[in-house]
Structure 1
Amino acid sequence: MSWDWFTDPGYWAARLAFQRMLAAIYLIAFVVAANQFRALIGAHGLLPVPEYVRRVSFRRSPSLFHWHYSDRFFAAVAWIGAAVSATLVAGLFDSAPVWASMLAWAVPWALYQSIVNVGQIWYGFGWESLLLETGFLAIFLGPADTAPPVLVLWLLRWLLFRVEFGAGMIKMRGDQCWRDLTCLYYHHETQPMPGPASWYFHHLPRPLHRIEVLASHFTQLVVPFVLFAPQPAAGLAAACMIVTQGWLVLSGNFSWLNVLTITLAVSVLDTSILRVPPSGSVELPFWYRILVILVTALVVALSYRPARNLVGRRQVMNYSFDRLHLVNTYGAFGSITKVRHEVVIEGTDEPELTTDTVWHEYEFKGKPGDPRRRPRQIAPYHLRLDWMLWFVSLSPGYGATWLPKLAEKLLAADKATLKLLRHDPFEGSSPRFLRARLFRYRYTTWRERKETGAWWVREPEGPLLRTGTLGPEGTLLPVRDA
């Protein structure tokens, strides 16, 4: 039996670029986990892992932390994942035996799986599943001194198709503004975390906003089908996706979603003109070929429900049909928020509340706060607390289980929590009282920007969390405002 069909040397360089980019995203994801877990899901965090694994079985959330949890152990898992990812970025396994290369790629996948499955709402974003699904397929791509297997390359195209087409379909089935081409009149202003250029994108002429929407529809609803065409058509489709995803990187902060989508698109590029595989390319072992065929069959079987979801009337987005996130559904912004609200948390160290009490505002690293502060470029780094506060601004129910705990942590000047902030107005000391208010934000006009230097105009709309202080047991005790 001839195995000539099994690999394609024309994608050698594309595979190498894909692996480097994916490893870099893994590295960022593990650093994010290491830097933020203590305050969010640590033993004394807002939603502690130990409490979660006591009520949720291993079968429902496969994770190393079902067998043991401590903050030190979690940190070790995160930093080991970061270290292995760094070796993959550096290409230290490029010439390893096939089994060693597979093991090296399986380690970050298994470790990040363990983190995501106990991360609760903090890890409920679509790009977590996307990283895991992409990482699982990367295990079977083989080391650099082998030609990449065709079946895995096609599975990566199928994944990219679902990411783009799923996002396009959820838009067409969702908000009317996607169909009348007006969603980007609002989106650059109301997106979860604007970037430094978002203000300028918002102020583009409205006809350009309509062109943006049309380009999005074309890239997500038409171009994905071209991924399955012969080259160079498939490569041109991938290049189109790379351009549109780069546009999204410039216009906002969506963690590593856009960079990872670009990474998937890179795997589709026919780089035969750059083909420079090592001389004497290593022969792939028979067991590996059989394993790739079995994995392909598994992914095809698991694709039934995600594929049905794509064409079903009740399409769900960012959902995993299996516990290991092997084949998932994707999509975002089926509906667009047309008015921006922000949660503003304030404290005071005055001993009593009066009508003259001076309140001091906590500043977060990414989300809008001080109207004069320009939005920052955060992505592909992911500020999980900032993102969840955006959801709270849409509906307070998103923070029902953890927002009062956040207030308690700030009142106690918890060091791990304060590390998630950009500015603590009390410089590590405990305030006496704390409150959270909801503000209406909008971008300044060109004239307002020139006259005031501000990026935002904001107005208070009312309380979100009642003014409180720490009770005798360290719990939040509501008090009456002056």
Structure 2
Amino acid sequence: MAVDILHTRNFFLRCMCGIYMFAFGSLYLQVPGLYGEKGILPAHTQLPNLKYPKQCFYDKLTVLCFSSYVGLNVSYMMELLTLVGTVLSFVGMVWKSWCTATLFFLLWGAYLSLYQVGQTFLWFQWDILLLEIGFLTILVAPVSRRAWSEYRPRNLVTMWLIRWALFRLMFASGVVKLQSSCPTWWGLTALPLHYESQCIPTALAWFMYKLPLWWHKLCVVATFIIEIPVPFLFFSPVRSHRIFSCYTQIFLQIMIIFTGNYNFFNLLTITLCLSLMDDMHLCYQHVKDLSFGFISYVKGTCSWIGKWVGFGILAYYTMAYFSLRVTPQGTIECSIAFNREEFDAWMSRAVPLSIAIGAFSLVITIAEALTSALFEVRGCLDRFGVFSTTFVYSLAAIIMFGISLVPYSVLDRPTNQRVWPVFQNFYEHTSDLQLTSAYGLFRRMTGVGGRPEVILEGANSLDGPWIVYEFPYKPGALDSAPPLVAPHQPRVDWQLWFAALGTYNQNPWLISLAYRLLSGQPEVISLLDPSSAWRDSPPKYIKASKYLYHFTDTIEGRESGMWWKRTREADYLPIFTVDHAPLVEYLRKIGTIGTMDIPATNQPLQQGLNTLRNFVDKLEPALVLWGLFITACAIIWAKGSTKPIVMYTTGTSRQKGGRC
């Protein structure tokens, strides 16, 4: 039975354009306040050789080094780059034939250029994941627009790389929770803390927090199952296993979207799940099995037996390792039935086993692709060309697989030490390109005892009154409902969450933020809530306190209308003034102030960027991004882009050409 993935690949490419559009668009809305010459972390400070563009590029690998060639300074060049990225990804999403390797190379190069100067505001796992998947998408995409609708056996190999990336992401995110020895994960009590203490929860998180403890524990068990054993089904020869594992991952990501704002990350993960699908499942292809009746019967029977054996094993070990039992009250009780030593022993076998399974699956996929290139393409020249191309892409897939083993195998140190030195050298020499990375989300659960929050306050007198700076998305005012802001990522609101986990000495960007607020910098003030105090005139003094926030309980919230309650824990940031000598000296030392960007000479282009900025700043960021997405979908619908079902049969040539 021949099942193709041509349309699945094409759908994946358009989805990747949508992800890029969200990523570039969200960053564009924040560039002046984050990276402007008088922003929180001026980008030009990351390019010391800016006067020598070629040397600068060799050092930092960013096209921002050539800002002077366009007649813009670095921050305006960042705006232009994010706008170009947004437009290109929008075009690729709407006009599918533009989704070529060239387009995705430009998108990947643009995002890498921004990442290289992004500093702490772009050092997130999803930004690194987007760079990795973005590079792999260059391999997945057709080379030319003409090849968009043509079958290529290499699709099997390149889409397999996406599947392997999804496996590493999910499996690592599951096992690091247990490797961290976090008592909340081992006690299955992490979810209530997660709903309350995650960076930017949604309103639904408040309601989910109220569910009974036995339900939260059961959901943690489901999370472990979806993230640890289920990803092994990605490589199962039984198609129903792959489809099942695909939808479990999608279900987990949708639940995360409902309860937390994680920008484009969950949408990107769902896009990766397309690597587990095929055209038949997406209703693009009807497949006829031309095997003889007996052979067809045997294949169907083996597939049916394999499907239920796999599901049975998964169910059995779930019951055994998590002691699932139904109580007389109708609840489901559970607990982890293994200890840390047993888990470590399992990991020492699971990591090398997963690598062996991945390697075997890749070899089988390459063999299938090369066989298809030899026997399903007519014409000597066409056959040679397709086979050669498939062979080259297979070599690239082997290299990418080998490089990925270096960061992935850190899950088990002995395995990491046994990785072939050639791949380790490849990884070291390509590390600046962010081709692959180690992942592992929510390693330890924060917020035990309450979620810490940094609250900035300003005053014109040391005696007060001290008036709070309100940010648009992070918890602050107790009666403000948790927002729904994804796929936009307000990066200052996010970093304030991380700042609360440490001290201000560990977060120099926060000191810069305080100085910019004291200076009344409009591009930084635009990152505040529109109703926040001090937007029109800066205060004379600024300080910060650390609070512990909790969700209100059901009755308390219903009666008071409050979503949060809080207690003050300690001072966080000492009182500063704009001319505070140690503050100014420190910021000069780290280069935040006292350094000059290159002058902008292209006044018409700069004026055009300013005009667009003045218009966009009046709009809600999430609405801007969803507006772009809805517009793209409306254009696609108006174009009537839905294609008729394609029918393939085993033994039928998928590519025509001259006969030998």
Q: Same fold (TM over 0.5)?
A: yes
State which of 88, 91, 94 in structure 2 corresponds to 1:87: 91
Q: How many residues get paired?
A: 456
Q: Hey, what's the Cα distance between the residues in 1 that align with 2:505 and 2:133?
A: 29
Q: Counterpart in 1 of 2:576? A: 468
Q: Hey, what's the Cα distance between the residues in 2 that align with 1:429 and 1:257?
A: 37
Greater relative contact order (CA < 8 Å, ≥ 6 in sequence): 2
Counterpart residue identity of residue 570, structure 2: G
Q: Hey, what's the Cα distance between the residues in 1 that align with 2:563 and 2:413?
A: 42
Q: Hey, what's the Cα distance between the residues in 2 that align with 1:381 and 1:415?
A: 21
Q: Counterpart in 2 of 1:390? A: 497
Q: Hey, what's the Cα distance between the residues in 2 that align with 1:475 and 1:54?
A: 23
State which of 216, 220, 238 in structure 1 corresponds to 2:223: 216
State which of 169, 174, 180 in structure 2 corresponds to 1:168: 174
Check whether the contact 2:504–2:572 (CA below 8 A) recurs between aligned residues.
no
Gaps of 5+ in 1: none
- State which drifts further: 52-61 or 285-294: 52-61
Q: Counterpart in 2 of 1:128? A: 127
Gaps of 5+ in 2: 50-54, 68-72, 143-147, 287-376, 417-426, 587-660
Say whether residues 1:275 and 2:323 are aligned partners.
Answer: no
Q: Counterpart in 2 of 1:65? A: 64
CA deviation vs aligned residue, 1:108-146 (integer Å, no higher than 9, x gap): 011001111211111110001111111111112234413
Q: Counterpart in 2 of 1:310? A: 411
Q: TM-score by structure 2 length? A: 0.65
Say whether residues 1:431 and 2:539 are aligned partners.
Answer: yes
Q: Counterpart in 2 of 1:298? A: 399
Counterpart residue identity of residue 554, structure 2: W
Counterpart residue identity of residue 85, structure 1: S
Check whether the contact 1:436–1:463 (CA below 8 A) recurs between aligned residues.
yes
Check whether the contact 2:543–2:573 (CA below 8 A) recurs between aligned residues.
yes
Say whether residues 1:401 and 2:514 are aligned partners.
Answer: no
Q: Counterpart in 1 of 2:81? A: 77
Counterpart residue identity of residue 84, structure 1: L
Check whether the contact 1:168–1:221 (CA below 8 A) recurs between aligned residues.
yes
Check whether the contact 1:235–1:270 (CA below 8 A) recurs between aligned residues.
no
Q: Counterpart in 1 of 2:13? A: 19
Residues 69-468 of structure 1 aligned to structure 2 (within 5 Å): 70-93=74-97, 101-143=100-142, 144-147=148-151, 149-174=155-180, 175-230=182-237, 231-273=239-281, 274-275=283-284, 286=386, 288-312=389-413, 322-337=431-446, 338=448, 339-348=450-459, 350=460, 352-354=461-463, 357-397=464-504, 399-423=506-530, 424-468=532-576
Q: Hey, what's the Cα distance between the residues in 2 that align with 1:220 and 1:293?
A: 28
Q: Hey, what's the Cα distance between the residues in 2 that align with 1:301 and 1:477?
A: 47
Q: Hey, what's the Cα distance between the residues in 2 that align with 1:48 and 1:436?
A: 23
Q: Hey, what's the Cα distance between the residues in 1 that align with 2:140 and 2:230?
A: 25
Q: Hey, what's the Cα distance between the residues in 2 that align with 1:232 and 1:43?
A: 54
Q: Hey, what's the Cα distance between the residues in 1 that align with 2:512 and 2:412?
A: 41
In structure 1, the residue corresponding to 2:542 is in which secondary structure? strand
Kindly state the Cα deviation for residue 301 of structure 1 after the two structures are TM-superposed: 2.3
Check whether the contact 1:404–1:476 (CA below 8 A) recurs between aligned residues.
no
In structure 2, the residue corresponding to 1:209 is in which secondary structure? helix
Check whether the contact 1:193–1:366 (CA below 8 A) recurs between aligned residues.
yes
Q: Hey, what's the Cα distance between the residues in 2 that align with 1:51 and 1:314?
A: 40
CA deviation vs aligned residue, 1:159-200 (integer Å, no higher than 9, x gap): 000000010111010112212211113111111111121101
Kindly state the Cα deviation for residue 398 of structure 1 after the two structures are TM-superposed: 6.8
CA deviation vs aligned residue, 1:33-53 (integer Å, no higher than 9, x gap): 211122222333222222122
Q: Hey, what's the Cα distance between the residues in 1 that align with 2:233 and 2:401?
A: 20
In structure 2, the residue corresponding to 1:440 is in which secondary structure? strand
Q: Hey, what's the Cα distance between the residues in 2 that align with 1:384 and 1:110?
A: 21
Check whether the contact 1:469–1:477 (CA below 8 A) recurs between aligned residues.
no
Q: Hey, what's the Cα distance between the residues in 2 that align with 1:306 and 1:467?
A: 43
Check whether the contact 1:12–1:275 (CA below 8 A) recurs between aligned residues.
no
Kindly state the Cα deviation for residue 294 of structure 1 after the two structures are TM-superposed: 3.2
Counterpart residue identity of residue 105, structure 1: F
Change (3 A) 1:446 1:116: same
Q: Hey, what's the Cα distance between the residues in 1 that align with 2:437 and 2:452?
A: 31
In structure 1, the residue corresponding to 2:252 is in which secondary structure? helix
Kindly state the Cα deviation for residue 297 of structure 1 after the two structures are TM-superposed: 2.4
In structure 2, the residue corresponding to 1:343 is in which secondary structure? strand
CA deviation vs aligned residue, 1:233-262 (integer Å, no higher than 9, x gap): 112111110011111111111222211111
Kindly state the Cα deviation for residue 474 of structure 1 after the two structures are TM-superposed: 12
Q: Hey, what's the Cα distance between the residues in 2 that align with 1:303 and 1:314?
A: 13
Q: Which is higher, the Rg of structure 1 or of structure 2?
A: 2
- State which drifts further: 452-461 or 142-151: 142-151
Q: Hey, what's the Cα distance between the residues in 2 that align with 1:184 and 1:472?
A: 43
Q: Hey, what's the Cα distance between the residues in 2 that align with 1:154 and 1:187?
A: 33
Counterpart residue identity of residue 412, structure 2: V
Q: Hey, what's the Cα distance between the residues in 1 that align with 2:189 and 2:58?
A: 44
Change (3 A) 1:372 1:150: same
Between the aligned residues of both structures, percent identity stands at 28
Check whether the contact 1:232–1:270 (CA below 8 A) recurs between aligned residues.
no
In structure 1, the residue corresponding to 2:500 is in which secondary structure? helix
Check whether the contact 2:503–2:572 (CA below 8 A) recurs between aligned residues.
yes
Which structure: greater helix fraction? 2
State which of 10, 21, 32 in structure 1 corresponds to 2:4: 10
Kindly state the Cα deviation for residue 473 of structure 1 after the two structures are TM-superposed: 8.3
Q: Hey, what's the Cα distance between the residues in 1 that align with 2:209 and 2:215?
A: 10
- State which drifts further: 457-466 or 68-77: 68-77
- State which drifts further: 145-154 or 256-265: 145-154
Q: Hey, what's the Cα distance between the residues in 2 that align with 1:223 and 1:429?
A: 55
Kindly state the Cα deviation for residue 218 of structure 1 after the two structures are TM-superposed: 0.2
Q: Hey, what's the Cα distance between the residues in 1 that align with 2:47 and 2:414?
A: 35
Q: Hey, what's the Cα distance between the residues in 2 that align with 1:472 and 1:446?
A: 46
Change (3 A) 1:67 1:398: farther
Kindly state the Cα deviation for residue 475 of structure 1 after the two structures are TM-superposed: 5.5
